[in-house]
Amino acid sequence: MRRRLIAGNWKMNGTVPEAISLVQRLKLLVSDVQDRDIAVCPPFTLLDTVSKMIIDTRIYLGAQDMFWEEKGAFTGEISPLMLKEFNCTFVILGHSERRWIIGETDEFIAKKVESAIRNGLTPILCVGERLEDREAGKTKDVVISQLEGSLSLVKDPESIVIAYEPVWAIGTGKPAYPKDAVDVISMIREWYGSRFGKDKAEGVRILYGGSVTPSNIDDFMKESEIDGALVGGASLNADSFARIVKYLL
């Protein structure tokens, strides 16, 4: 049985006082949760603050991105070693906002994924199609292309999480229906099995992300194929995020 994961992506939000207030309340609200993993992924500026606050809790820390080199002349970038210094467990890579706004390529993301694994971090690799891709019937082609490109350098896939995040559902309030998510996630697992072996495919956690809220999380998590959620805006409110963490409880 794959252990489910609920991860909150704060994106470019939060000051130190806001982070302290959010995490203090979140710790209280989820202190009794034991049968699933919880992660928060604040901006780089808040990693130190949040890292200290979640010591001796069941909450894991994640970052929102990283560069593939460990150090060097890469102005503005953050290395995997820097993330480990703050006790990060996860790092989000290939998010659609990085792909479509910043312009990151699959080749670029592949280097980050390989570096994260090599440095003891668990990548949360995001894949997903745009609305025009879906309407053109290209969802499978786009998602598989992203998987093949972004995982091209991975030889040992023991430590990896995949998040299916349809771009048209992110931040729009229009989530995919659970059945739509299951169809794509099942396809991802099938591809993963053909690439790395059936046993690896059965073990990899595949999350859904895109307008996940307290009101729809239960419907998604009733599906055994969905191993958790990557939550955006709703993770910025401790009560909302805690309700998502406590789906079906």
Give CA torsion, residues 9, 47, 245, 182, to 10 deg: 40
Catalytic residue among 97, 104, 165, 202: 165
Active site residue 104: no
Cα–Cα dist 230/7, whole Å:
5
Nearest to 51 by CA among 84, 75, 74: 84
- The pLDDT value recorded for residue 173 is 83
Full domain range(s) for residue 9: 5-245
Catalytic residue among 95, 104, 114, 129: 95
Q: Is 45 helix (H, G, I), strand (E, B) or coil?
A: helix
Cα–Cα dist 123/38, whole Å:
15
CATH number, domain at 21?
Answer: 3.20.20.70
Question: Positive or negative CA dihedral for 154, 128, 40, 212?
Answer: negative
Tokens of residue 194, six digits = 């053909």
Tokens of residue 130, six digits = 């745009």
Tokens 């091209």 belong to residue: 152
Cα–Cα dist 46/63, whole Å:
10
Backbone angles phi, psi at 44, to 5 degrees: -55, -35
User: pLDDT tens-digit profile of 33-89?
Assistant: 999 999 999 999 999 999 999 999 999 999 999 999 999 999 999 999 999 999 999
Total domains in the chain come to: 1
User: pLDDT tens-digit profile of 82-111?
Assistant: 999 999 999 999 999 999 999 999 999 999
Residue 174 has pLDDT above 90, yes or no: no
Active site residue 85: no
Cα–Cα dist 246/197, whole Å:
32
User: pLDDT tens-digit profile of 178-230?
Assistant: 999 999 999 999 999 999 999 999 999 999 999 999 999 999 999 999 999 99
Please state the pTM of the whole predicted model.
Answer: 0.97
Give CA torsion, residues 98, 100, 101, 105, to 10 deg: 60
Residue 158 has pLDDT above 90, yes or no: no
- The pLDDT value recorded for residue 86 is 98
Residue 175 has pLDDT above 90, yes or no: no
Cα–Cα dist 10/42, whole Å:
5
First to last CA, the chain: 18
